[in-house]
Structure 1
Amino acid sequence: MRITHIGHSCLLVETGNARILTDPGAFAEGFEDLTGLDAIAITHQHIDHLDTERLPAVLAANPQAVVLAEPETAALLAQAGVPVQALTPNQPVRVAEAVLTPMGGVHAEIHADIPLIGNVGLRIAAPGDISLFHPGDSYGALPGEIDLLALPLNAPWAKFSETANFVRAIAPGRLFPIHDGLLQPAGRAVYLRNLSGLLPAGAQLVDLAGQGPTEL
Structure 2
Amino acid sequence: MLITHLGHSCLLVEVDGARLLLDPGVFSRGFEELTDLDAVLITHQHADHVDVERLPTLLEANDGARLVAEPETAAELRQAGIEAEPLHAGDTLEVAGTTLRGAGGRHAVIHPEIPRVGNVGMLVGTSRADGGDGLLLHPGDAYDVVPGDVDVLALPLNAPWAKVSETIDYLRAVSPSVAVPIHDALLLPPARAMYLGHCTRLAPPGTSVVDFNGGQPLDVLT
Counterpart AA for 1:133: L
Distance 1:196 1:15 in 2: 25
- Whether the 8 Å contact between 2:6 and 2:215 is mirrored in structure 1 is no
- Residue 154 of structure 1 and its aligned partner are, at CA, apart by 0.1
2:150 aligns with: 146
Distance 1:88 1:211 in 2: 30
The match for 1:198 is 202
Alignment of 1:115-134 (within 5 A): 115-126=115-126, 128-134=132-138
- Please identify runs of 4+ aligned residues in structure 1 that moved more than 3 A: none
- Extract unaligned runs of 5+ from structure 1: none
CA contact (8 A) 1:208 1:214 kept: yes
Name the aligned partner's letter for residue 138 of structure 1.
A
State the number of aligned residues. Answer: 216
Residue 186 of structure 1 aligns with which residue? 190
Q: What is the CA–CA distance in structure 1 between the aligned matches of 2:111 and 2:22, rounded to whole Å?
A: 26
Q: Structure 1 counterpart of 2:45, which letter?
A: Q
- Kindly state the Cα deviation for residue 128 of structure 1 after the two structures are TM-superposed: 2.6
Amino acid at match of 1:111: H
1:211–1:14 distance in 2 versus 1, CA, 3 Å: same
Deviation at 1:89, TM superposition (A): 0.8
Deviations 1:116-135 (Å, cap 9, x if unpaired)?
A: 00001011114530111000
Q: How does 1:22-37 map to 2 (within 5 A)?
A: 22-37=22-37
Residue 97 of structure 1 deviates from its aligned partner by 1.1
Q: 5+ unaligned residues in a row in structure 2: which ranges?
A: none
Q: Is the 8 A contact 1:7 1:209 kept in 2?
A: no
TM-score with structure 2 setting the length: 0.95
RMSD: 1.0
Identity %: 54
Tell me which residue corresponds to 1:51: 51
Q: Give 2:118's aligned amino acid.
A: G
Q: Normalising to structure 1: TM-score of the pair?
A: 0.98
* Residue 208, structure 1, aligned to residue 194, structure 2: no
| Residue identity matched to 1:208 | F
Deviations along 1:21-49, one digit per CA (max 9) or x if unpaired, are 00000010000000001100000000000
Kindly tell me: are residues 183 and 209 of structure 1, through their superposed partners in 2, closer, same or farther at Cα, counting changes over 3 Å? farther
